[in-house]
Amino acid sequence: MFTSVGSSGERKCTNDNTSSINNYLSAHTVPPNLIGKHKSGDWSGGDGVLPGRATLGPLFLMATTPVFSIVFVHVVTQLDGNFLEFFRKTLAQGFFSTIYNIWPTPWDPLAWKMILGFMVFQLILIKLLPGKEFKATVTPKGNQPT
């Protein structure tokens, strides 16, 4: 089955037994006078359902992702993946107290050794395995990033 666009913009199926398909296509085709009339060009077709989604949504994700990650790692490593035990602990101690108790310290020597080791490894790779120089296209101001 192939579809083609007719002279007036409607879609038609080129198969012989296609009356029901052509009826479906003509009923579900956006009229040419409505194409490009939306407020926004994205898939949502406008401002969206939730007010403030351009600011509150990203702020919510930035605030909850680290907490979720820390909780997930704690449950998997310390509680053997038992999320029910974590919820019991949270109910007994309170949410913020539980998060405070499981939150890792930023002064952990093992974490700093891992970070510094990664930095040294990356510096060694940069110096020992340099790739060929890449020059990007010239910007409108005349700069050429490398």
3-state helix, strand, coil in the chain (%, to 5): 50, 5, 45
Q: What per-residue confidence (pLDDT) applies to 56?
A: 86
Averages of pLDDT over runs of 10 residues in the chain (146 residues) are: 54 57 62 55 58 82 94 96 96 95 92 96 91 87 86
Classify residue 10: in a domain, yes or no.
Answer: yes
In angstroms, rounded to a whole number, what is the distance separating the alpha carbons of residues 46 and 102? 42
Is 28 part of any domain? Answer: yes
pLDDT, position 45: 54
Q: Is residue 24 part of a domain?
A: yes
pLDDT of residue 96: 95
> Contact, 15 vs 3, CB < 8 A?
no
CA distance 60 to 117: 32
* 133 falls within a domain: no
Given CA atoms 131, 132, 138, 143 in this order, what sign does their dihedral have?
positive
In a domain, 121, yes or no: no
Same domain, residue pair 29 and 68? no
In a domain, 132, yes or no: no
Q: Is residue 90 part of a domain?
A: yes
Together in a domain, 69 and 27: no
Q: Is 82 within a domain?
A: yes
Please report the pLDDT score of residue 7 as a whole number.
Answer: 57
Domain with 28 in it? 3-34
User: 97 and 60 share a domain?
Assistant: yes
Do 103 and 62 lie in a common domain? yes
* Total tally of structural domains belonging to the chain: 2
Q: What is the pLDDT of residue 142?
A: 87
Which pTM does this prediction carry? 0.50
| Shared domain check, 63 and 28 | no
**60 shares its domain with 103:** yes
DSSP-assigned letter for residue 103: S
pLDDT, residue 21, reads 65
Please give the pLDDT value at position 133: 85
